[in-house]
Amino acid sequence: MEPVIQVSELVKRYRKAERNAVDGVSFAVEPGSFFALLGPNGAGKTTTISVLTTTLRPTSGQLRVAGHDLLREPDAVRRQLGIIFQKPSLDLNLTAEENVRLHAVLYGLYPMRPAYRLMPAGYRAQVQHLAEVLGIAGEMSQPVRTFSGGMRRKLEIVRSLIHEPRVLFLDEPTTGLDPASRRDLWAYLKAVRQRGGTTVFLTTHYIEEAEAADRICVIHRGRVVSLGSTDEVKADLVEDYVSIDAEDGAALAAELEGLGARFAPDPELGGFRVAVKGAGIHPLLAAVRTPLTRVRTHTPTLEEAYLEILERS
């Protein structure tokens, strides 16, 4: 199956910038999957998403989205996308429903009618359904000006889904959402993917959100640092280790040295952290003669992996 998003050697340099905001990024996204672009502030997430949603021209690179060449057929690509921007993008003077209607009409889904009740039944059913899911059905006729930040976010989500996009881009969508709304949004996005085969492309710097993704691309300073499943990214960035200790620390260190182990002092527990590689730790531990007082295995969390990237720079 052809990937729904294919990015090869994407470079974006802003005018007068000293370095590339995106510096040779490549990845592919499978149709219907949940893909997370994870990185700290300034990593290049919004820049990447802006290029993929045709709002920003790349400096160089090849891009295909939803079966079309992004540079040659931007209109065809645009029709297949939904996007939630990092920055709020609602018209505060319109009601919630009017914001959605404007979007639906601009996408050519429905003819413009001067009132909600005059809109086609299909439109009304879709608005009602999405607004209920996001929990703002009762407020759809209110001006957006009166909405809280979280409600505005939910409205943007309703709006982005109204044309049933093949790919939904979300740039840090849960910023400003309370935990319950955040959970509801995840549940809904999951349902959207399963039911409609919609691909979800998310940027975030929340580890827990990336952890739920099928694949994660970690970027830092415009470059891909790691790419793969959660487990692959973890293994890529942080080594598993075993924390061991003995009454006679010096003897243990000498022995580990002699066995050719890679080890370092354990800053938290004392003793040593011994890297687990290839064949595993058992042959090494079996060879140690110094009596051990502690053997504790450690599997890294995605958060540790991520923090390591930040520390490395």
Ligand X SMILES: Nc1ncnc2c1ncn2[C@@H]1O[C@H](COP(=O)(O)OP(=O)(O)OP(=O)(O)O)[C@@H](O)[C@H]1O
**Which does residue 41 bind out of ligand X, Mg ion, none, counting CB within 5 to 8 angstroms by kind?**
ligand X
> In the structure encoding, which two tokens stand for residue 110, read together?
């429905």
In this chain, which stretch among 39-47, 57-65, 66-74, 125-133 interacts with ligand X, using CB under 6 A? 39-47
Beta carbon nearer to ligand X, 60 or 141: 60
43 binds ligand X (CB under 6 A): yes
Q: Which of 46, 174, 198, 230 lies at the binding interface for ligand X (CB under 6 A)?
A: 46
- CA 74, CA 102: separation in Å to the nearest integer? 21
Footprint (CB under 6 A) of ligand X, residues 153-212? 205
223 binds ligand X (CB under 6 A): no
**Which does residue 17 bind out of Mg ion, ligand X, none, counting CB within 5 to 8 angstroms by kind?**
ligand X
Q: Which of 5, 7, 23, 47 lies at the binding interface for ligand X (CB under 6 A)?
A: 47
Q: Which of 6, 62, 86, 301 lies at the binding interface for ligand X (CB under 6 A)?
A: 86
46 binds Mg ion (CB under 5 A): yes
Class of residue 292 by CB neighbours under 10 A (exposed 0-12, middle 13-18, buried 19+)? middle
Beta carbon nearer to Mg ion, 86 or 301: 86
User: What is the DSSP secondary-structure string of 82-94?
Assistant: EEE-SS----TTS
Footprint (CB under 6 A) of ligand X, residues 5-24? 14, 17, 21
42 binds ligand X (CB under 6 A): yes
**Which does residue 313 bind out of ligand X, Mg ion, none, counting CB within 5 to 8 angstroms by kind?**
none
Q: By rule CB under 6 A, what count of residues binds ligand X?
A: 13
The distance of closest approach from Cβ of residue 209 to Mg ion in the complex, given in angstroms and rounded to an integer, is: 14
**Which does residue 26 bind out of ligand X, Mg ion, none, counting CB within 5 to 8 angstroms by kind?**
none
86 binds Mg ion (CB under 5 A): yes
Footprint (CB under 6 A) of ligand X, residues 279-298? none
89 binds ligand X (CB under 6 A): no
* C-alpha closest to that of 243 among 222, 216, 228, 264: 264
Q: Given the DSSP bridges, would you call strands 167-171 and 81-84 parallel, antiparallel or unpaired? A: parallel
Is the C-alpha dihedral spanning 100, 192, 67, 216 positive or negative? positive
- Is residue 87 within 8 A of residue 117, CB to CB? The reply is no
58 binds ligand X (CB under 6 A): no
- CA 224, CA 236: separation in Å to the nearest integer? 12
* HSE-CB for 217 with a 13 A CA cutoff: 22
Q: Which of 38, 44, 163, 170 lies at the binding interface for ligand X (CB under 6 A)?
A: 44
In this chain, which stretch among 44-52, 61-69, 99-107, 112-120 interacts with ligand X, using CB under 6 A? 44-52
The distance of closest approach from Cβ of residue 38 to ligand X in the complex, given in angstroms and rounded to an integer, is: 10
**Which does residue 197 bind out of Mg ion, ligand X, none, counting CB within 5 to 8 angstroms by kind?**
none
Q: By rule CB under 5 A, what count of residues binds Mg ion?
A: 3
- Is residue 275 within 8 A of residue 265, CB to CB? The reply is no
Site for Mg ion, rule CB under 5 A: 45-46, 86
Give contact residues for ligand X (rule: CB under 6 A).
Answer: 14, 17, 21, 39, 41-47, 86, 205
